[in-house]
Amino acid sequence: MSAESVPKHPMRHLSDKAITRLRSGAELADLNGTRYRLIGQVARGGMGVVYAAEDQLLQRRVALKVLDVSGSEGELANRLMREARVLALLEHPGIVPVHEVGTLADGSVFYTMKFVEGKRLDQHIESVDSTPDRLRIFVRICDAVAFAHDRGVLHRDLKPANVMVGPFGEVLVMDWGLAKILADVSGAEPNRDGDSIPRLPADGNDGNSSGTLHGRVMGTPGYMSPEQASGKIELMDARSDIFSLGAILRYLLTERLPAGPSSQRARALDAICAKACALEREDRYAAVQDLAADVSRYLDGLAVSAHRESIFDKLARFYRQYRFFIWLIAAYLLMRVLLIVVVKH
């Protein structure tokens, strides 16, 4: 080839910035054919990516979770679909509601849910300096988890990063991707109040339907119960989530807290944490409601079931609870004595 046959226009080199932009654009989900318009990526997890999208029909912002890989078949696709079904089952103010499940043009499974504008719990508590305020958040997490347990669903990945706190104080438990269905009931089943509760088919002890095989460890170190950490998923029940809740409670009581409660009150909270995080399942709270009730009793200045109080502890708690009233009575009695003395002299 002669020199004249070489094209005259010089070769253009793309900058690194442009390449990064093109690459990230190519990685974005293709929402063509859906009613959603992509706004941006919110988070990326092990299973998929969460985007902020606009529902053009209802003109609202939603969170759209889509698998990293294409195709509606396979373990991950099943798990994402299952996560959406679990969320649909759990209609509770403390659990993010699912809107729609579908498949993108490239075959990727996706589902949309409420877009939560808030902070993760671990970020939110940086601005919460008061122990009671943190405990109130914790009780609301417990309410959502207790509801899920009542519907026969275990979360199995409870940790501060999976809890969102909204701008108006709403507390939402997120990421139910590792959830396990406990109740072995399909269709509707009446609850304690006699209402009909829809249920998903239960996972077997091998956990295949949730994509969790015996011996495979899934969860977050530090928040996993011993039975979960050792892969003994057949041993997992509501008390495994209680262990994780206990770890969250301990985190809330220690992380960036400027001034903790007094030593005597701290003993009660320590006892609650210790009971929730007991290594043996039998030593933990039997139900999330019991854990939440103990924390609520602590907030109300009452005795907690996890801590055996001495007589001095009881007196101190009584004094703290009725301090002003006790001083009023004492002032009244003093005034009475002074009045008698004055009148007599």
Partner 1 sequence: MNKILLGLLIGATLGAVDGCTAWFYPEVRAQLAGIIVGSTIKGLIAGVAAGIFARKVNSILLGIIFGLAVGFVLAFLVAYMQHDHYIAIILPGSIVGLIVGYATQKYGATPATAR
Binding footprint of partner 1 on the chain (CB under 8 A): 322, 324-325, 328-329, 332-333, 335-336, 339-340, 343-344
Q: Strands 153-154 and 119-120: what pairing?
A: unpaired
Q: How far is the CB of 334 from partner 1 (least distance, A)?
A: 11
Burial status of residue 128 (CB atoms within 10 A of its CB: 0-12, 13-18, 19 or more) = middle
Give the nearest distance from C-beta 82 to partner 1 in angstroms: 40
Which CB, 188 or 339, lies closer to partner 1? Answer: 339
Residue 311 or 341 having the CB closest to partner 1: 341
Supply 288's token pair. Answer: 């999330």
For residues 27 and 319, which CB has a smaller minimum distance to partner 1 in the complex? Answer: 319
User: How many C-beta atoms surround the C-beta of residue 196 within 10 A?
Assistant: 10
Q: Report the DSSP pairing between strands 171-173 and 163-165.
A: antiparallel
Nearest approach, Cβ of 297 to partner 1 (angstroms)? Answer: 16
Give catalytic status of residue 30 as yes or no: no
- The DSSP secondary structure of 94-142, one letter per residue, reads TBPPEEEEEE-TTS-EEEEEE---SEEHHHHGGG---HHHHHHHHHHHH
- Which CB atom, from 19 or from 335, has the smaller least distance to partner 1? 335
What is d(CA 268, CA 106) in angstroms, rounded to the nearest whole number? 55
Q: How far is the CB of 340 from partner 1 (least distance, A)?
A: 5
State the nearest-atom distance from the C-beta of 303 to partner 1, in Å: 17
| Nearer to partner 1 among residue 266 and residue 337 (C-beta) | 337
CA distances from 38 to 52, 55, 249, 289 (A): 6, 9, 36, 40
Q: Which helix (H) or strand (E) holds 317?
A: helix 311-321
Q: How far apart are CA 43 and CA 114, in angstroms?
A: 15
Single out the catalytic residue among 143, 157, 241, 294. 157
Which residues contact residue 176 at a Cβ distance below 8 angstroms, ignoring those fewer than 6 apart?
Answer: 83, 86, 87, 90, 95, 153, 155
- Residues carrying an active site annotation: 157
